[in-house]
Amino acid sequence: GAGVSQSPSNKVTEKGKDVELRCDPISGHTALYWYRQSLGQGLEFLIYFQGNSAPDKSGLPSDRFSAERTGGSVSTLTIQRTQQEDSAVYLCASSLDSGGAYNEQFFGPGTRLTVL
């Protein structure tokens, strides 16, 4: 079946503009995660959705970052008033759920964001 997909694959924007990044998780996966991968860095957790529960936003670096998940499926990560330090690869992952035993996260190919 289809894996996690993300769009666009690449996004170049000017400083100060808003951007929206999209993630389509694997069908039936209730948990969805956003990470940021900066050059030479590991993955930085941003936000996590589990079913209809309130999202865990503890990883969002500033109030310019927000995310929503409509209908428990597709998710959009929005960055307002982009800054050059926002340049990174943004990765989305989904899993069956996160309760109890570990469920493998399946990652999308990422969106490479470049802020000029």
Partner 1 sequence: AQSVTQLDSHVSVSEGTPVLLRCNYSSSYSPSLFWYVQHPNKGLQLLLKYTSAATLVKGINGFEAEFKKSETSFHLTKPSAHMSDAAEYFCVVSLTLANNDMRFGAGTRLTVKP
**Binding footprint of partner 1 on the chain (CB under 8 A):** 3-4, 31, 33, 35, 40-45, 48, 56, 91, 93, 95, 98-110
Nearer to partner 1, 60 or 82 (CB): 60
Minimum distance of partner 1 from residue 108's CB (angstroms): 5
Nearer to partner 1, 80 or 87 (CB): 87
Nearer to partner 1, 79 or 91 (CB): 91
Q: What is the CA radius of gyration of the chain?
A: 14
How far apart are alpha carbons 22 and 78 in whole angstroms? 9
Minimum distance of partner 1 from residue 39's CB (angstroms): 10
How far apart are alpha carbons 28 and 78 in whole angstroms? 24
61 Cα distance to chain centroid: 13
Minimum distance of partner 1 from residue 66's CB (angstroms): 17
Pairing of strands 111-115, 10-13: parallel
